[in-house]
């Protein structure tokens, strides 16, 4: 909640634990109430049920879900963006958001039928990055024309290429496209990429977890611009 407050996002309802609040928690409650939020005191056992934790936090907040259309996305806001196609695991979505915050990415564009980025699992895995990263959900047939209307290199991760991810020159802005956890990217999507790269697998595994692959790519692309 502190991360959300720091980027100007306040809850519409705040649930507070019984007893005296930590000064930071009290400050967040006061700011939320000043902005029109409702604050309620909740017994510890209810806080535990609401949070799903045996040791619940002092505060829980209910936020309005942002619905950002693709046309309102400012690609010039960052040189690096994540694009994910049909990710089924909300934990992977949250982890990519967390990585996006770490590398100062602009956000995550979810393509086609992906898991809910605002689910409990995704929000927890994001560790607050749900509030710092732009999130757009859009079909591929809408994303691709938008991308081609302006600058942007579409970089796909795939096993169907000989290009090692360490070798190419990455442009700005780069849109890093990762595929479904089991199936990877469809051939038609790979054909639209400006660049396909792969990470050599030196052991028995033939691929990395989608969120791990996204993180490796993001940090390398960032480092390549230095």
CATH at residue 35:
3.30.1330.30
Q: Are residues 58 and 157 in the same domain?
A: no
Q: Are residues 8 and 34 in the same domain?
A: yes
Q: Are residues 207 and 150 in the same domain?
A: yes
Q: How confident is the model over 109-122, as a mean pLDDT?
A: 94
Q: How confident is the model over 140-169, as a mean pLDDT?
A: 94
Per-residue model confidence as pLDDT tens digits over 136-145: 999 999 999 9
Final residue in a domain of this structure, among 62, 78, 96: 62
Q: Are residues 133 and 219 in the same domain?
A: yes
Q: Are residues 136 and 26 in the same domain?
A: no
How sure is the predictor about 160, in pLDDT bands with cuts at 50, 70 and 90? confident
Residue 22 or residue 78, greater confidence: 78
Q: Are residues 21 and 43 in the same domain?
A: yes
How sure is the predictor about 17, in pLDDT bands with cuts at 50, 70 and 90? confident
Q: How far apart are CA 173 and CA 199, in angstroms?
A: 21
Residues β-bridged to residue 153: 174
Structurally, the chain folds into a number of domains equal to 2
Q: How far apart are CA 112 and CA 138, in angstroms?
A: 6
Q: Are residues 114 and 164 in the same domain?
A: yes
Residue 99, SS3 per DSSP: helix
Secondary structure, 3-state, 123-184: HHHHCCHHHCCEEEEECHHHHHHHHHCCCCEEEEECCCCCCECCCCCCCCCEEEEECECCCE
Final residue in a domain of this structure, among 62, 81, 102: 62
Residues whose CB falls within 8 Å of the CB of residue 40, separated by 6 or more in sequence, listed in order: 13, 14, 15, 16
Q: Are residues 51 and 144 in the same domain?
A: no
Q: Are residues 109 and 182 in the same domain?
A: yes
């Amino acid at each position: 909640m502190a991360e959300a407050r720091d980027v100007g996002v306040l809850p519409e309802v705040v649930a507070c634990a019984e007893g005296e609040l930590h000064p930071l928690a009290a400050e967040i409650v006061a700011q939320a109430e000043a902005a029109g939020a409702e604050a309620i005191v909740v017994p510890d056992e209810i806080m535990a049920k609401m949070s799903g934790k045996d040791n619940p936090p002092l505060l829980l907040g209910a936020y309005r879900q942002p619905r950002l259309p693709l046309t309102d996305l400012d690609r010039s806001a960052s040189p690096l963006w994540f694009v994910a196609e049909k990710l089924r695991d909300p934990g992977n979505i949250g982890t990519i958001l967390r990585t996006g915050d770490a590398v100062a990415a602009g956000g995550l564009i979810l393509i086609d039928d992906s898991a809910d980025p605002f689910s409990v699992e995704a929000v927890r895995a994001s560790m607050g990055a749900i509030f710092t990263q732009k999130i757009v959900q859009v079909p591929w047939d809408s994303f691709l024309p938008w991308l081609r209307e302006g600058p942007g290199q579409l970089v796909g991760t795939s096993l169907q290429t000989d290009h090692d991810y360490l070798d190419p020159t990455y442009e700005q802005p780069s849109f890093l496209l990762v595929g479904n956890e089991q199936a990877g990217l469809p051939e038609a999507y790979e054909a639209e990429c400006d660049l396909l790269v792969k990470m050599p697998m030196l052991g028995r595994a033939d691929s990395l977890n989608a969120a791990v692959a996204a993180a490796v790519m993001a940090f390398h692309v960032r480092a390549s611009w230095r």
